[in-house]
Structure 1
């Protein structure tokens, strides 16, 4: 799986510079928030953040650092969803969704031990994923993907319920981020 294809799709969907008043993330360019750009060494005006710089940030902060590249070696469709969810909600949230789903699908820890849902993919999460896929086969990836998307959809609805300003984004989130 080529992460550049995933990154290009996110950038195409997110567009150029946006500073929506209802978005607590503030100013973004190419979907990269000001805070994320600064955390990754960018010091310029957000309107001038280059696409190449955004691609490098996506690759490092949203693909390699959360180990979605390692998930892709095992389950490419799942990795693509985790990447997209991580971009929209933060990689720890996406990782936590995977961990929660793996725990719920291990049949009372009879297929593999529960893992700590700490929001970080590491050796234990990858071992659980390997055991799940070995037990369930290729169709298991589809079921796991559905579980992650169910958690994501529930979170979007909860955000809109708790923060009415988020309702401005709910339709787009459900239309473009789920399925």
Structure 2
């Protein structure tokens, strides 16, 4: 089940990560499908991308390169999916944590989950340390469907607040706000579809 969920979640996350970009206003700088050279300078995918930058069909040609796509999936699985224990989280919480880890970093994704559990349980059950351990896993997997829905809602509210805060504190980031909020809206829809299934 975890492997199936990873493939499904990766496909959804990559819908938002685009292809190749090097926007001077993006703090991540040079990026391929969400993988920033700043955070992953030694990723072997750059060795495939760099020599092709001058070609007429760049970056479209990268899509058909199986080796590059395999390296990309491997990095996503190791760095974001497994590090945040998404393989042990229930649907659709696995998707929300994974997408947040990709977009905001693994620690922030884990902390948002812990904050959401504490908020919706009405007490501090979990240390908000940004690490998903046994206590966090037990708290999340034991949630009934109604509480799980509340956790999802609050988790996504935390993301929206973070995006608004970024746009307000860093005016050059405002141009990304609409896309970020659309991403959250799409995640909310995906979560609702899973809840109805």
TM band (smaller chain): 0.7 to 0.9
* CA drift at 1:142: 1.4
Unmatched segments (≥5 aa) in structure 2: 53-61, 63-67, 189-197
Question: 1 CA distance for matches of 2:24 and 2:91?
Answer: 35
* CA drift at 1:61: 0.9
Q: 2:44 touches 2:71 (CA, 8 Å); kept in 1?
A: no
Q: 1:14 to 1:43 in 2, by over 3 A?
A: closer
Q: 1:53 to 1:9 in 2, by over 3 A?
A: same
Question: 1 CA distance for matches of 2:42 and 2:12?
Answer: 23
Please, which of 84, 89, 102 is the counterpart of residue 99 of structure 2?
Answer: 84
Question: 1 CA distance for matches of 2:141 and 2:10?
Answer: 26
Please, which of 113, 128, 132 is the counterpart of residue 98 of structure 1?
Answer: 113
Question: 2 CA distance for matches of 1:138 and 1:151?
Answer: 20
How many residue pairs get aligned? The number is: 168
Question: 2 CA distance for matches of 1:88 and 1:139?
Answer: 27
Structure 2 residue aligned with 1:58: 76
Q: 1:22 touches 1:166 (CA, 8 Å); kept in 2?
A: yes
* CA drift at 1:101: 1.1
Please, which of 168, 174, 178 is the counterpart of residue 181 of structure 2?
Answer: 174
Unmatched segments (≥5 aa) in structure 1: none
Structure 1 counterpart SS, 2:41: helix
* CA drift at 1:42: 5.5
Between 1:158-167 and 1:48-57, the stretch displaced more is 48-57
The alignment's C-alpha RMSD in Å is 2.0
Question: 1 CA distance for matches of 2:43 and 2:87?
Answer: 19
